[in-house]
Amino acid sequence: MVDYDFGGQVAFVTGAAHGQGESHAQHYAKHGADVVVTDICEDIESNPYPMGTSDELRETADLVEDEGGEALTIEMDVRAESEVEAAVEEAVDEFGKIDILANNAGIWNMSDLTQMDERQWDELVDTNLKGVWLCSKHVGQHFVERGDGGKIVSTSSTAGFTGIAGGGHYVAAKHGINGLTKTLALELAEYDVNVNAVAPTGVDTPLVAGMTEAYGEETMDEMGQMSGPWNLFGDGGLVDARDITEAYLWLSSDAARYVTGTTLKVDAGFTAK
């Protein structure tokens, strides 16, 4: 990885108990940052696979500390504004500031839109889209009040550029993140805040493993083939979380100081067809 310098900075990472969020938190610390690691640490009723746990979130904090960073662990539901607001306040009280918001928390499940019940729609869209808004709102307020710039990076998806049969709520949320990113970039530019998103293809994480167990390898393979393989390179399989982390680090760094309002595809060619 590139040798970024986040010394003296504080990163606030959601969905950090495992998967991409764990990778992001560890590597922010590896490059000098202190990290607030947050996760809901409980299951969501409509989701078919286990969510991250309190023990896993503590393990992420241990990884941060092993890399030399200070870690603050907060169990927080991104869907609940009171919890988000309290977490941001706790982070600022602990570290004095936040420099980077990594909006990573998200879930994924499947149902045709004509068969989906309201709970399934609400729980996914509230987690994947409303949560990005709420965290951006409260960390964004901190950036404005502090007056020293900041970085917001959110996890979109190839589903933010395509449709997925059986995943309409997920597609809607990820398209929404792309639009939210553009709008926040416009609103926060005068405060020197960069706002961007990353759109991964399929990533080798507990989320995808859980989806595969819940719906079967054949279903997941069919989804990957809708626009071509998940990955145009090698065996066409899943990419590694660290490849998504690399994009997060770049967009959070001074190297991307003039990049804002952009959704960066790290899709191994998935949307090229």
As a whole number of angstroms, the distance between CA 50 and CA 238 comes to 20
Query: How do residues 87-138 score in pLDDT, each as one tens digit?
Result: 999 999 999 999 999 999 999 999 999 999 999 999 999 999 999 999 999 9
Ramachandran assignment for 153, one of left (phi > 0), alpha (psi -120 to 50 degrees), beta (any other): beta
Query: How do residues 146-164 score in pLDDT, each as one tens digit?
Result: 999 999 999 999 999 999 8
Q: Residues 170, 215, 248, 258: which is the catalytic one?
A: 170
Buried b (16+ CB within 10 A) or exposed e, 63-74: bbeebebebbbb
As a whole number of angstroms, the distance between CA 213 and CA 273 comes to 28
pLDDT attached to residue 52: 95
pLDDT attached to residue 221: 65
Is residue 104 a contact partner of residue 66, using CB atoms and an 8 Å limit? Answer: no
Segments in the chain below pLDDT 70? 1, 219-229
Q: What are the chain's domains?
A: 10-265 (3.40.50.720)
As a whole number of angstroms, the distance between CA 228 and CA 132 comes to 29
Q: Which residues contact 66 (CB under 8 A, 6 or more apart)?
A: none
Is 49 annotated as catalytic?
A: no
pLDDT attached to residue 233: 87
